[in-house]
Amino acid sequence: DGGITQSPKYLFRKEGQNVTLSCEQNLNHDAMYWYRQDPGQGLRLIYYSQIVNDFQKGDIAEGYSVSREKKESFPLTVTSAQKNPTAFYLCASSIDTGLAGAYEQFFGPGTRLTVL
Amino acid sequence: AQSVTQPDIHITVSEGASLELRCNYSYGATPYLFWYVQSPGQGLQLLLKYFSGDTLVQGIKGFEAEFKRSQSSFNLRKPSVHWSDAAEYFCGSTGNQFYFGTGTSLTVIP
């Protein structure tokens, strides 16, 4: 079955630590995204990538980093510079970013990160 | 600037009653519009989408939405709500970027 997997489902981090959230897709999509979700604030875009080895900052990129070495994978690192990292993180992919067409996004199940 | 607005933060309906969730968009051209549903602790699932053509769009789980250009709206409807429909609903659009509304939380009472 094609889809998006995120791991782990729950992640606990001590203050000052970096953590990496995994996102893998087997949909053969070019574009991938990371969103942060907080209660009452909807989805906020952290980073997106249109193609391998290329990515752009979204609205709230500070304190986060990403890489796109493979088409299937788009890991997100939450660094110690992120002052309030406790949130629900969602990864998504689409055929394209929408710039050239109207492509819906497919979402993974999410990772809940809690800073202790 | 492009944006999506969901005016209702929370809606409560009785099981079996009809439902309408509001979505307004702001975009210079015709946007591509979507509705997603999210159960607690889960990812988002696409309910339906509008690209062009017939302005009344049918989706999964008995949902439909109507695109009204004159009102810049894309409201989601369901004629009879089931308890399993309780969830968070997000409207989204693409133009030069993908935009989501802040969501509407639906509670269904028996």
pLDDT tens for chain B, residues 1 to 110: 778 999 999 999 999 999 999 999 987 777 889 999 999 889 999 999 998 888 999 999 999 999 999 999 999 999 999 999 999 999 998 876 788 999 999 999 99
Query: What are the distances in angstroms from CA B65 to CA A7, B20, B21, B68, B85?
Result: 33, 9, 9, 10, 16
pLDDT digits (tens, 9 = 90+) for A66-99: 999 999 999 999 998 888 999 999 999 998 765 5
Does the beta-carbon distance from B102 to A33 stay under 8 Å?
A: no
Cβ–Cβ contact A95 with B under 8 A:
no
Does the beta-carbon distance from B41 to A112 stay under 8 Å?
A: yes
Does the beta-carbon distance from A103 to B94 stay under 8 Å?
A: yes
Cβ–Cβ contact A40 with B under 8 A:
yes
Q: Which residues of A88-105 are buried (b: 16+ CB within 10 A; e: fewer)?
A: bbbbbbbbebbeeebbbb
Chain B nearest CA to A103, separation (Å): 8
Search chain B and give the residue with CA nearest A99: B96
Cβ contacts of B103 on chain A, cutoff 8 Å: 42
